[in-house]
A and B are shown apart, each in its own frame.
Chain A
Amino acid sequence: MKVGALSASGVHAAMSSRGIAIAAPPIIVRLRSPLRFLADQIRALYGDYDVVDPEAFADVDVRMCVVGGVRRWRRPKVQFVVDGVAPFDPFPLENAMPMFEWGLNWAFSQRANQNLLLHASVVERDGRAILFPAWPGSGKSTLAGSLVCRGWRLLSDEFGIVPLGGASVIPFVRPIALKNESIAVMRAFAPDAYIGPIFPATRKGDVAHLRPTSLSTARSRESAPVHAVVFPNFQRDEPVSVQRLEPAKTFLKLAGNAFNYEVVGERGFSAVASIVRQSSSHIIHYGDLDGAHAALEEILRATPDK
């Protein structure tokens, strides 16, 4: 059963009691919370995800609790609790959804060291994945989201997950976190896409979530080989330009981009080497999405399968 097949009341009832367990391959996350508005947002953004038995093993057990001490009624806050531990300070109550998303990312990054975890968006089409490794502000989520709205499959917005010993990326399909001006950009670019409410003035600025396409969630267990590594660099009104990046330099940039390169050691070194050897690498500067898409098409055309 899909989350979206449950009524809004049904999602809330589940979250308020035993929890709702959602399959978001490669993990199962169980979420408990009394917050009705959070249940509505989960239903909207995770509607295409499978619901599984809440009593079964969950890789990540999350509670979103209302806290606030003596000022609870004036300034209520929400606490992210994972496996019984609260690793962060509480957020304003209305920011429960972005806190859940960030907290889940954090929890995943802490317990997925059987993989090399790159900080990257990943999309795929025709069996060819493009990895967009980047740090915040570079436009990776906007670029990946725009491609997904044009028929590409989303593998991940936040993690390039490379199982150690392999050179393919496994999906971790989640809502795409759009920030600040990219929210309006995406609304204009893909008016039919579902974008949730804007959470203003979070620690990362204004945030809204783009729901993954049904294509992406339906194929959320299919890995894809990395065909191209593209470091995005968005600058408003800048013309599109593509610069090839040599392999050893790509290697160092990827190693520096990974969350856990030092943790996984030699196997991470081998994983990065495999990616670099089987893909082409580029830096793309762009100021508009259509121009960037055309440049990516050209990169794929010019990159032979290895």
Chain B
Amino acid sequence: MPTLYDYILSDDCYKVRLLLSMLSVGYETRKVDVHPGRENCRPAFLSLNPLGRIPVLVDGDLVLRGPSSILTYIALQYDRARCFLPEGAAALAQVEMWLSFAETELSAISDIRANELFRLAPATDIAVLRRRADRAMEVLEDHLAEGEIVGRRWVAADRPTIADLALFPPVALSAEAGLPIEPYPSIWRWLHRVKNLPGFVVMPGVLPLLPKVAV
């Protein structure tokens, strides 16, 4: 059974928790005291991930860091039906393209959010991060808007993939980074499509779909 080194407020960990839930994969959780303990910066954790970040997934002898590689591994190892990771060069590459977008562009949202939360001095100027975050949302909005025109409801394929799950957490939490959502109506609708997927779970800051309430 894999072990996830996890922190409840981490949006990167949430990417992995989403996929594990949607694939009904059992796993152990090892809670890491990121804040205030900064356990991820201490030698014991660094021997697991020298970059000092979570999530880390340990499965047998395999130790993986970085949400993209962890998502890819879980999808290949535990999803025999390949629901979340299509086959074929073009399809795979498109998933990869959006996984990469999540890492390089949406990380700006995560960084601003982390700064708002924990008030540790950010490595990059907040104004620079904000411009990158705004542009990333704009690019994603354009892509999803075109998708709505041509009938493609998910970012990288005709069905949800790990690319959607990698993009969802920072975008769903973008208000915590001070970003508005009203300029991005296609993103808004896509967020609700993801929330409606079987096995969807929330994290603090992501509101659940409310149940049938009797009036």
A pairs with B: no
Report B's interface with A, CB cutoff 8 A.
Answer: none
